[in-house]
A and B are shown apart, each in its own frame.
Chain A
């Protein structure tokens, strides 16, 4: 398992190095985790452990970097299950002059490259399901998926409570598994850091990749408007306060970076431990994390 993981990490680095990406490291211990309604940070002294390197990565883009990637640990409070561990490894990469469709094409190339490097092929037999990783990925809008599997359309009328429940109990278990599936165009309410779709502002340019029914990655066209971003952070802070959750300070350095001008950009976070799980044919993170907390 350690050897497999090591080969996967090497394949990822080779892929990005060949494409002219800069591997970067950003702080793990931070003062202002991104404000998201359902992502809770772990305290670390008078600061927090990052839940994602996202805000720092975008600051690098605003500072002039065009292509950056990072592999490293992230921490989320209270997340432990078959597919969750409070400390996990995220791969994030960001590009300027790109949108979520460009990142999708790049993700497809990455998955193919890693599978070839590690398995020598681009298909998998995962939990008795045959998955062809290439060349077809099925794209489904969130509206289509919910209409088909849950019987309602969250884009026309968004019910936050029902959305998450139906997503895990009705949509995810029924997604096709013969090839990778991309759920795209999420209701704007569940995309705190994504840009709205110009043709349909009710949805945000966000997608999630599922392989074998497992959520592997989340991507979006980045929101670059500082005023809109501040508004969303403040709304989220208010909601968290109502729920009695810790409210993190606004990341003013990040907002200042947006003010100074973030070019159009797109980025993605990919769960490396889950990718290892998939390529190892494992059902649970128990089987792939060498030091699993009880």
Chain B
């Protein structure tokens, strides 16, 4: 249980059973008036934000959150299966992963955030390597990185890549933006 005076940026709290993270925090107090703790909060499941003002005697629950480091194992329909080092299994649904699901690579290590035993977020390493399965043939000699063309990676996700990239090339993707980073090796 947190009291209002514990609130600060980055703290995770629970409102109506939903975990929120404080993204902006401001202590305000009008002259001779009561302390007010203004917070902007982000819903850790949906990403939606809201603002709330708390008073000194308000309390907030601490969400039951757990972070587990696991390895991606396989996909089963709309569900993605991860294993921890004791081979304990955890299934994450596609909507929790969002676009991250296209960047999963077998055996890749991820951090899974779990709220009340339900996975709510998966954090991938910043860079993953993926093979290009489909793109227009590369323009030989064109090393410009600012002219882009569409390409498909394994799993069907479309990404913009420079013209010199060919089918079969392995590229690095920045999982924070979902964008092309650089080429790892050629086909």
The answer to whether A and B assemble together is: yes
Chain B residues with CB under 8 Å of A215's CB are: 30-31
Q: Residue B36 at the A interface, CB < 8 A?
A: yes
Identify A218's interface contact among B5, B28, B31, B57, CB under 8 A.
Answer: B31
CB–CB B27/A84 < 8 A:
yes
Q: Which of B32, B38, B53 has the most CB of A within 10 A?
A: B32
Taking a contact as CB atoms under 8 Å apart, the answer to whether A169 and B53 are in contact is: yes
Q: How many A-B residue pairs have CB under 8 A?
A: 58
User: Contacts of B36 on A, CB cut-off 8 Å?
Assistant: 164-165, 168-169
Indicate whether B26 reaches chain A with its CB closer than 8 angstroms: yes
Q: Report if A190-B33 is in contact (Cβ < 8 Å); known contacts: A78-B5, A165-B53, A169-B38.
A: yes
* CA distance in complex: A160, B33 (Å): 9
B26 near A164 with CB under 8 A, answer no
Contact present for B27 and A81 (CB under 8 Å): yes
Q: Does A127 contact B (CB under 8 A)?
A: no
**Complex Cα distance A180/B181, Å?**
52
Contact-residue bracket for chain A:
20 to 34
How many angstroms from the CA of A136 to the CA of B33 in the assembled complex? 27
Within 8 A of A (CB), among B29-49: 29-36, 38
Residues of A within 8 A of B53 (CB): 165, 168-169
8 Å CB contact of A168 from B5, B28, B32, B57: B28
Chain B, Cβ-Cβ closest to A269 = B31
Q: Are B27 and A38 within 8 A (Cβ)?
A: no
User: Are the C-beta atoms of B28 and A81 separated by less than 8 Å?
Assistant: yes
A192 CA / B33 CA spacing, docked (Å) = 11
Q: How far is it, in angstroms, between the C-alpha of A81 and the C-alpha of B30 when the chains are bound?
A: 12
Q: Which residues of A contact B28 (CB under 8 A)?
A: 81, 83, 168
In the complex, A106→B5 CA distance in Å? Answer: 37
On whether A168 and B31 interact (CB within 8 A), knowing A78-B5, A243-B57, the answer reads no
Which residue of chain A is the closest to B25 with respect to CB atoms? A81
Residues of A contacting B35 with CB < 8 Å? 38, 78-79
Residue of B nearest to A191 (CB): B32
* A82 interface hit (Cβ, 8 Å): yes
Partner of B33, one of A83, A164, A243: A164
Measured CA separation A82–B26 after assembly (Å): 7
- How many Å lie between the Cα of A208 and that of B33 in the bound state? 12
Q: Contacts of A167 on B, CB cut-off 8 Å?
A: 30, 33
Q: Tell me the minimal C-beta distance from B136 to chain A in angstroms.
A: 48
A4 at the interface (CB under 8 A from B): no
0/1 per residue, A33-73, Cβ < 8 Å to B?
Answer: 00011110000000000000000000000000000000000
Those of B1-59 within 8 Å (CB) of chain A: 5, 26-36, 38, 53, 55-57
Contact B29 A84 (CB under 8 A): yes
- Least CB distance from A244 to B in Å reads 9
Which B residue sits closest to A160, measured CB to CB? Answer: B34
Residues of chain B within 8 A of A168, CB atoms compared: 28-30, 33, 36, 38, 53
Scoring A residues 126 to 168 as 1 if CB is less than 8 Å from chain B, else 0, what string do you get?
Answer: 0000000000000000000000000000000000110111011
Contact yes or no, B27 A79, CB < 8 A:
yes
CB-defined contacts of A234 to chain B, threshold 8 Å: none
B61 to chain A, nearest CB (A): 21
> What 7 pairs between A and B have smallest CB-CB spacing?
A81-B27, A164-B33, A167-B30, A168-B28, A164-B34, A218-B31, A38-B34
Residue positions of A touching B, CB distance < 8 A: 36-39, 78-84, 160-161, 163-165, 167-169, 172, 190-192, 208, 215, 218, 243
Supply 7 further A-B pairs (C-beta < 8 A) apart from A38-B29, A168-B30.
Answer: A78-B35, A80-B27, A81-B28, A83-B28, A167-B33, A215-B30, A218-B32
6 residue pairs from A and B, CB less than 8 Å apart: A78-B5, A81-B28, A160-B34, A165-B36, A191-B32, A215-B30
